[in-house]
Amino acid sequence: MNLVLNIAHRGASAYCPENTMAAFRRAIELGATGIETDVQMTSDGQLVLIHDESLQRTAGSPRLVKDVTLEEAKQLDAGSWFDPAFAGERIPTLGELLELVKPREDVYVNLELKNSIVNYPGLEEAVIEEIRRQGLGERIIVSSFNHYSLVLCKELAPEIRTGVLYVEGLYEPWEYAARIGASALHAHHRAVLPEWTAQAAERGIVYNPWTVNEPAEMKRLLDAGVASIITDYPDRLAALIAEAGAQANSAN
**CATH number of the domain to which 111 belongs:** 3.20.20.190
Annotated active-site residue in 9, 147, 186, 189: 9
Residue 51 bears catalytic tag = yes
Give pLDDT < 50 ranges for the chain.
1-2
Asked whether residue 63 is assigned to any structural domain, the reply reads: no
Asked if residue 53 is part of any domain, the answer here is: no
pLDDT of residue 1: 40
Selecting among 51, 147, 186, 189, the annotated active-site residue is 51
Q: Has residue 217 been placed in a domain?
A: yes
Q: What is the DSSP secondary structure assignment for residue 56, as one 8-state letter?
A: H
Q: Does residue 127 fall inside a structural domain? A: yes
- 222 found inside a domain: yes
Active site annotation includes 147: no
Task: Please check whether residue 61 lies inside any domain of the structure.
Answer: no
Task: Report pLDDT for 130.
Answer: 98
pLDDT at 183: 98
Give whole-number Cα distances, 231 to 15, 24, 169, 205, 212, in Å: 12, 13, 21, 20, 5
User: What DSSP element (H or E) covers 97?
Assistant: helix 94-101
The pLDDT tens digits of the residues spanning 179-193 come to 999 999 999 999 999
Q: How many domains does the chain have?
A: 1
User: How confident is the model at residue 68, as a pLDDT?
Assistant: 98
Q: Own/partner pairs for 205-212, CB < 8 Å, 24+ apart?
A: 205/174, 205/177, 205/178, 208/5, 208/7, 208/110, 208/141, 208/163, 208/184, 210/9, 210/36, 210/186, 211/9, 212/237
Torsion 242-243-244-249 (CA) sign: positive
Residue 102 lies in a domain: no
Range of the domain at 147: 5-39+107-251
> Exposed, middle or buried by CB within 10 Å (0-12, 13-18, 19+), for 70?
middle
> Does a structural domain hold residue 184?
yes
